[in-house]
Amino acid sequence: MKKIILTILMAVLVQIGFAQVLQGNWTTTGSISYYKSQQNGDRYSISYTYEHKYYNISPTIGYVVANNIEVGLIGSYNRSKSNSEKIMDAGVSNTFYNDSRSWSAGVYTKAYKFLLSNFAVTGQADVSYDSYSSDFAQKNIAYYYSNEYVGEHERNYISATISPGISYFLSDKISLNLKYGSLSYTKMDNQAYYRNQAYNRDHLDDSAADGHSLVLNFSSSSFGAGLSFFF
């Protein structure tokens, strides 16, 4: 009986025949990420609320140049909204709202290492051009005085990213892909403007400087799931 159970288990795990990402195949992939976070409470006579929503859509098309080596084109669209309110005591408060959008286009290469014939760990490296814009508003109230800022932020950058993942092949033509975590280098070009509503003045935000960054990301925004179709 134990031998029969072991044989069935091995047959399910191995599934000989699903085992290759073959040279000459084309592949198309789509992934979607979404998360939402909320916080609220009271601390030291301060009441606060916070909400953040984010989603991402990322299609790709690739070509298998060698067995288990894939190259192709990537694109993505992201949308993020956040708002917060902090009330310190009667007549003193701070509110903030931000709505941001971004898109990117680039190239990638992806390598598969099969641990089982239908299960592989993957590593992907990509280089992309990204464009980001956002609208924000902030209002401060202190007893008989109030001030409101509204503004826009634009950012263009080039990034290089390495990300790990796994692929489970449901058949020789379809794989389920999961990814979590990334290491990214980014070169940024920033521009930000805001208007002081109380004085009706426009300002350039000097803090939005050009720069470079290297980020290791294991937040929920780095998680993605999708299906690949090989043909």
Domain count, the chain: 1
**pLDDT band for position 46 (cuts 50, 70, 90):** confident
- For the entire predicted model, the pTM comes to 0.66
4 pLDDT exceeds 80?
Answer: no
Q: What is the CATH number of the domain that holds 70?
A: 2.40.160.20
Q: Over the stretch 23-35, which tens digit does the pLDDT of each residue have?
A: 999 999 877 888 8
55 pLDDT exceeds 90?
Answer: no
Buried/exposed 88-119: b ≥16 CB within 10 Å, e otherwise: eeeeebebbebebebebebebebebebeeebb
What percent of the chain stands above pLDDT 70? 81
Q: Which amino acid is located at 10 in the chain?
A: M
Q: Assess contact for 222 and 163: CB atoms under 8 A.
A: yes
Q: What is the dihedral sign for C-alpha 195, 198, 200, 206? A: negative
110 pLDDT exceeds 60?
Answer: yes
